[in-house]
């Protein structure tokens, strides 16, 4: 009997991962908690609250279909990234045996105006190697001083009969886009498709490969390509495209991707965490990008959750890389002139994101070692001129959307603005030098970015030095000892 190539590929991966599982099991035994066949455990929970209070409740524990794909040599997260942090703690020794920082949709929503008037509930998940002894999952959140404080805890008994070990049907074939080694030794990146009909599966794979090539052309991903495995799954949709409520377009898609998140017409997310997690569980993954089968400009990215992009937009290459920067390395938005749903910060505390600072102590800047000698801190730039041009651009952009003009009109505006900005920043005295340039994290005053330009600021095609270093540190977390 001839075995299909895709099946042979997956079976071969499972065999290799079984070898890695022995190492992971040995390492966990040293800490006092072994891993049951390096299974992947997922804890689903509900996150409820408003701008001043939040509550948590357990949904259920699940054993996912595939073994744990993570790096067995770096089980505890040293990065200090994320608004939240979860720890898996051995109850016998009180030692942290696994941890990861992350951000969440709730963490963004609680800063919006709606959170001041109403409660909402979001479904969330954390994933970790399945233990074979009792553990405590402790969830922490940053306080006003940026210190992680415990906000919720739940005991996990691996013998609990209510842990869901059921088998689910595959949502679609697992496509191997790039394979450079065992998942335990690589960053495992999963690309999901949403809003692609069965007849558009080939189109999805072409979109995934096209955008992936953009990532490989961008430093430091270009230099670290061999440290990645890239997989893809595209569950067929009954309709082509995704929801866009502001245009009265509604689609029931497998992942539930939609524009208009938090009332922002360009912000593209899925709020159906359970559907997203069920589909993703059929691939080895640490990071995920969702390609939405739409042309209208849009995307989003949340650290440790996923990134999104409207794959047919002519701005998709820029959005794909920009949003992946948020999701992969916790990079902050450096722009500040575009309208957003978030309320301005009431206090200036140092952001946890690696590429933004409140400059509370200019002599102890978080990227001090990268500052170009002779660069003044804060660093002057033609801020007023830039803001004047940006205000005019935002007005034109708003008119195009309000009049529901064709997408090519918006695309032409994006191209015009990108050309202006490229020429504008090339004239800057401190262009290409690391300093502290005022204007970042949606605010014109009080927050600073490392370089005058970066893909986290404008539609350029490169990350600044500080962002590149932050990305490299995350790659190392999943690939090195």
Q: Which of 320, 349, 271 is nearest to 104 (CA)?
A: 271
Contacts of 419 (CB under 8 A, 6+ apart): none
The greatest distance separating any two alpha carbons of the chain, rounded to the nearest whole angstrom, comes to 71
Please state, in angstroms and rounded to a whole number, the distance separating the CA atoms of residues 52 and 256: 28
pLDDT in tens, the chain (481 residues): 333 334 334 444 444 444 444 444 444 443 444 444 489 999 999 999 999 999 999 999 999 999 999 999 999 999 999 999 999 999 999 999 999 999 999 999 999 999 999 999 999 999 999 999 999 999 999 998 899 999 999 999 999 999 999 998 999 999 999 999 999 999 999 999 999 999 999 999 999 999 999 999 999 999 999 999 999 999 999 999 999 999 999 999 999 999 999 999 999 999 999 999 999 999 999 999 999 999 999 999 999 999 999 999 999 999 999 999 999 999 999 999 987 766 666 678 899 999 999 999 999 999 999 998 999 999 999 999 999 999 999 999 999 999 999 999 999 999 999 999 999 999 999 999 999 999 999 999 999 999 999 999 999 999 999 999 999 999 999 998 7
The DSSP result for 270-281, as a single string, is E--HHHHHHHHT
Q: Angle, to 10 degrees, between the axis of helix 407-426 and the axis of helix 383-402?
A: 180
Nearest in space to 195 (alpha carbons), one of 312, 282, 304:
312
Helix extents (H) in 230-365: 273-280, 316-329
Neighbours of 36 (CB within 10 A): 16
Tokens of 303: 């650290």
Domain 175-329 is found in CATH 3.40.390.10: yes
Contacts for 146 with CB less than 8 Å, ≥ 6 apart: 349, 350, 352
What stretch of H or E contains 60?
A: strand 54-67
Query: Could you tell me the residue ranges of all domains in the chain?
Result: 5-156, 175-329, 362-462
User: What was the pLDDT predicted at 122?
Assistant: 98
Say which DSSP state 38 is in: E
Report pLDDT for 339: 76
Cα–Cα distance between 396 and 310 in angstroms, integer? Answer: 21
DSSP secondary structure letters along 406-465: -HHHHHHHHHHHHHHHHHHHHT-TTTT--S-EEEETTEEEEEEESSS--TTTSS-S---H
53 contact partners, CB below 8 Å, separation of at least 6: none
State both tokens at 324. 């992946």
**Class (C level, CATH) for 5-156:** mainly beta
- 10 Å CB burial of residue 357 (0-12, 13-18, 19+) is buried
Closest by CA to 272, choosing from 57, 44, 119, 110, is: 44
Number of H helices and E strands in the chain, helices first, is 8, 17
Model pTM score: 0.91
Instruction: Single out the residue of 92, 101, 103, 118 nearest to residue 31, CA to CA.
Output: 92
Among candidate residues 438, 445, 325, the one with its CA nearest the CA of residue 382: 438
């Amino acid at each position: 009997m001839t075995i299909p190539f895709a099946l042979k590929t997956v079976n071969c991966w499972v065999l290799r991962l079984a070898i890695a599982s022995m190492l992971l099991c040995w390492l966990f035994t040293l800490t006092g908690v072994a891993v049951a066949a390096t299974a992947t455990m997922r804890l689903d929970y509900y996150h409820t609250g408003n701008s001043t209070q939040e509550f948590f409740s357990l949904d259920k524990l699940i054993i996912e279909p595939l073994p744990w794909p993570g790096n067995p040599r770096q089980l505890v997260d040293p990065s200090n990234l994320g608004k939240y942090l979860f720890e898996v703690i051995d109850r016998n020794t009180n030692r942290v045996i696994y941890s990861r920082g992350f951000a969440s949709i709730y963490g963004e929503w609680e800063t919006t105006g709606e959170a001041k008037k109403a409660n909402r509930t979001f479904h969330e998940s954390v994933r970790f190697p399945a233990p074979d002894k009792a553990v405590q999952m402790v969830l922490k959140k940053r306080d006003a001083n940026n210190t992680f404080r415990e906000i919720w805890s739940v005991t996990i008994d691996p013998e609990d009969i209510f842990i869901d070990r059921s088998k689910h049907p595959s949502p679609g074939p697992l496509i191997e886009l790039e394979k450079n080694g065992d998942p335990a030794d690589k960053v495992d990146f999963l690309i999901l498709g949403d809003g692609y009909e069965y007849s558009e599966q080939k189109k999805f794979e072409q979109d995934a490969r096209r955008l992936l090539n953009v990532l490989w052309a961008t430093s430091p991903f270009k230099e670290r390509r061999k440290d990645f495995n890239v997989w893809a799954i595209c569950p067929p949709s009954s309709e082509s495209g995704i929801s866009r409520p502001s245009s009265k377009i509604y689609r029931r898609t497998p992942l539930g991707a939609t524009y208009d998140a938090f009332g922002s017409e360009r912000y593209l997310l899925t709020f159906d965490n359970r559907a997203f997690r069920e589909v993703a569980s059929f691939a080895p993954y640490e990071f995920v990008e969702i390609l939405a089968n739409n042309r209208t400009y849009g995307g989003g990215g949340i650290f440790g959750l996923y990134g999104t992009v409207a794959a047919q937009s002519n701005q998709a290459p820029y959005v794909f890389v920009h949003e992946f920067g948020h999701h992969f390395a916790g990079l902050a938005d450096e722009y500040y002139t575009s309208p957003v749903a978030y309320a301005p910060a009431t206090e200036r505390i140092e952001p946890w994101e690696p590429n933004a600072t409140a400059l509370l102590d200019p002599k102890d800047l978080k990227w001090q070692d990268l500052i170009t000698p002779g660069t003044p801190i804060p660093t002057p730039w033609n801020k007023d001129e830039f803001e004047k041009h940006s205000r005019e651009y935002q007005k034109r952009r708003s008119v195009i959307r309000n009049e529901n003009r064709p997408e090519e009109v918006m695309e032409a505006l994006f191209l015009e603005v990108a050309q202006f900005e490229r020429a504008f920043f090339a004239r800057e005295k401190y262009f290409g030098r690391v300093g502290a340039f005022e204007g970042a994290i949606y605010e014109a005053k009080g927050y600073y970015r490392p370089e005058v330009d970066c893909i986290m600021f404008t539609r350029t095609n490169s990350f600044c030095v500080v962002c590149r270093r932050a990305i490299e540190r995350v790659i190392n977390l999943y690939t090195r000892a």
